[in-house]
Structure 1
């Protein structure tokens, strides 16, 4: 089954269900995304603990993130391309089991090499989860694609935000072995995704009994135009996630070094930023459904620039205040970018999910490694001074063409 045939089958499945989003499925995807990303967020959340225990430098901290992010980013497009051709309803649950294995290994790791392997296992689980989950979210959207992607993605953002808090109050006081406690989250995610897989399998079976319809209408853009547009979108994701890496991997160190806060206080303040990221993800998709993808993409990335430029010069109070609009505005772009790319490449939902989530994670990992070396050679403050200019790359969004033939695709 090729990609367009698979998409035609999904269209038939979509036609078989009532109009409007399938709320239970979207809720299950969002909850499982929360649990999946909560597990992933434990690794950067315990960096201060690992740094002290294993006497790591910032470069090694960056390599840990790189091991997780590159495993995820390199595999995701492969998984997405494969599931475009042959959807795998229960691959979601299988990915969660791999994350569980990585989590348990992380709790028992006794060397830097074993930490790297554990990070890679969690990354592999993520690579399997994201492309197919993104496809199921679109299938369950009832045509409200931006809303569905926001609901799906906000679960991940919420998990990323909650993880550091749980690490601060569970792992930091009780040590590395207490990470095993979070196996409960992985098992819960496995159960939820097994139920989602059953729904997905039933829809695919129903689709096989119905005539396939075309995935889209209207003339397709030329191949060079598609390639150029995808390149612009990937550059925008580079600016977003490279900057985000400065927060997810090093914001706690920045707060500790510059303002002298405690480890637990730094985790709480990181939660403020990540909570704002979750809210931004929620509002980005519906606004894109209403006003178009391109305005959201352009405004969310460039609009954050004044706040990022001010951050390195702020005191502790204003640093915390500025992280709220930074997280809110920056995160609103991702649902719009993903749906825009899906409309640009009809029939390639899995590939789009794998490519864009994978590239985002890869840029986060590369950013963590590069910024870690920069911090070692200069200072952690220099990292935030230089990263403040990254959102200016969002000006490239003005070159994005209209897609979808309406303001919703604009």
Structure 2
């Protein structure tokens, strides 16, 4: 354990501006994120198979997502808060082991209860992975925080997109048992995370010898608090809508357009791949133009397209889903880095809080929307969710953090 007069988060703040961007580490942690989220993406991708095998209702599908998302959300801010004070470079390896246990259980699950247990294991693995991984991305950024977060998120989005594709190719033509093949992703993940852990450990040792300089935003505590609340509202809007796509888009396509399960998975991959592109764009644009404007455009700018989606034919549904995926996914890197810059002394807690809240909103959204689909129809769910991005109007109340920080820096010099 490293001991000095400064907390771990204070050490983090010192290094991002004095150190060059560590691209090998950024790409390594992004690849680990790909593998982690690939395993997570297996869960919603096999919903049609589980629904058919076990005769599940949409409400039960929603409860599966809720169980996974709660396990992935509640622990994240607590883990982040703990690792702010006590960094654990090798903790992510244990998270990946938990995810592997979940995948093995899911492949042999023959009851609703076993499915719930399996997704909780995967959720716990995710809750351990994300706070420390986001911190490592911040550490390796060399000051290019938006770019670093986009690279990190790109890995996760790519994994989320690959999950349904691999399920369509490996699991759908065979059986539920073939889910066990995704253990290979977990094993590779452990190898990659081990290498990153040694870099992280050495980095912490070197930083412990330096005096940190923390750049605080030129905001009052009330402004910081209100900004965090606004960001949470935006997360609610974004991830409630995203839950409708990730959990129910395949069912929507099957019911409305009578496509096959396998074809519905390919359409879902289009949406998820578009999300990966949007993630890569969002961070650098935030670095250049200010995160507030990227957040504003991403969350509110997608509204016209979500409002059109429920009334489009299959061709335009696929086109609109790609546009929606690109725009709405560009928000999260900007939101997360904005939050980290609001509270630079609590990087792990902030990362865990926002990842956890995002997972929680996704899970809650999936459960509520599944119940709604059972009582109405899957098409009605999409007609209702189309209005969610309009909540993005609250982004106008966010302070322009980039200008505030520049002003604070100028005053100090």
Q: TM-score, normalised by structure 1?
A: 0.96
For structure 2, list consecutive stretches of 5 or more residues without a partner in the other structure: 408-413
Cα deviation for residue 93 of structure 1 reads 1.5
TM-superposition CA deviations, 1:133-183 (whole Å, max 9, x none): 000000000100000000000101000001001111111111111111111
TM-superposition CA deviations, 1:220-260 (whole Å, max 9, x none): x3222222111110000000000000010000000000000
Structure 2 partner of 1:161: 161
CA distance in 1: counterparts of 2:145 and 2:68, whole angstroms: 29
CA distance in 2: counterparts of 1:242 and 1:355, whole angstroms: 17
CA distance in 2: counterparts of 1:141 and 1:175, whole angstroms: 42
1:224 aligns with 2:222: yes
Structure 2 partner of 1:9: 11
Structure 1 partner of 2:43: 43
Cα deviation for residue 207 of structure 1 reads 1.5
Q: Identify if the C-alpha distance between structure 1 residues 408 and 279 changes in structure 2 by more than 3 Å, giving closer, same or farther.
A: farther
Q: Is the Cα–Cα contact under 8 Å of residues 8 and 212 in structure 1 kept in the other structure?
A: no
Cα deviation for residue 85 of structure 1 reads 0.8
User: Which segment is superposed worse, 390-399 or 95-104?
Assistant: 95-104
2:362 aligned residue (361, 364, 367): 364
CA distance in 2: counterparts of 1:384 and 1:13, whole angstroms: 45
CA distance in 1: counterparts of 2:374 and 2:327, whole angstroms: 30
CA distance in 1: counterparts of 2:171 and 2:44, whole angstroms: 12
CA distance in 1: counterparts of 2:282 and 2:14, whole angstroms: 28
Cα deviation for residue 346 of structure 1 reads 1.2
Structure 2 partner of 1:240: 238
Q: Is the Cα–Cα contact under 8 Å of residues 279 and 332 in structure 2 kept in the other structure?
A: yes
Q: Identify if the C-alpha distance between structure 1 residues 11 and 345 changes in structure 2 by more than 3 Å, giving closer, same or farther.
A: closer
Q: Identify if the C-alpha distance between structure 1 residues 4 and 375 changes in structure 2 by more than 3 Å, giving closer, same or farther.
A: farther
Q: Is the Cα–Cα contact under 8 Å of residues 290 and 408 in structure 1 kept in the other structure?
A: no
Cα deviation for residue 354 of structure 1 reads 0.3
Q: Secondary structure at the match of 2:401?
A: coil
CA distance in 2: counterparts of 1:2 and 1:50, whole angstroms: 52
For 1:268-287, what aligned pairs fall within 5 Å after superposition? 268-287=266-285
Q: Secondary structure at the match of 2:163?
A: helix
1:137 aligns with 2:174: no
Structure 2 partner of 1:378: 376
CA distance in 2: counterparts of 1:127 and 1:398, whole angstroms: 31
Q: Identify if the C-alpha distance between structure 1 residues 14 and 147 changes in structure 2 by more than 3 Å, giving closer, same or farther.
A: closer
| Alignment coverage as a number of residue pairs | 406
Structure 1 partner of 2:411: none
Structure 2 partner of 1:318: 316
For 1:80-99, what aligned pairs fall within 5 Å after superposition? 80-99=80-99
Q: Is the Cα–Cα contact under 8 Å of residues 154 and 279 in structure 1 kept in the other structure?
A: yes
Cα deviation for residue 406 of structure 1 reads 5.1
Structure 2 partner of 1:29: 29
Cα deviation for residue 377 of structure 1 reads 0.2
Q: Secondary structure at the match of 1:346?
A: coil
Cα deviation for residue 14 of structure 1 reads 4.7
Supply the RMSD in Å over aligned alpha carbons: 1.8
Cα deviation for residue 4 of structure 1 reads 6.1
For 1:287-298, what aligned pairs fall within 5 Å after superposition? 287-298=285-296
Cα deviation for residue 62 of structure 1 reads 0.2
Structure 1 partner of 2:250: 252
2:399 aligned residue (386, 392, 401): 401
For 1:349-360, what aligned pairs fall within 5 Å after superposition? 349-360=347-358
Q: Identify if the C-alpha distance between structure 1 residues 407 and 10 changes in structure 2 by more than 3 Å, giving closer, same or farther.
A: closer
CA distance in 2: counterparts of 1:256 and 1:29, whole angstroms: 36
Q: Identify if the C-alpha distance between structure 1 residues 189 and 99 changes in structure 2 by more than 3 Å, giving closer, same or farther.
A: same
Structure 1 partner of 2:410: none
Q: Is the Cα–Cα contact under 8 Å of residues 30 and 153 in structure 1 kept in the other structure?
A: yes
User: Which segment is superposed worse, 358-367 or 222-231?
Assistant: 222-231
Cα deviation for residue 12 of structure 1 reads 4.5
CA distance in 2: counterparts of 1:223 and 1:217, whole angstroms: 11
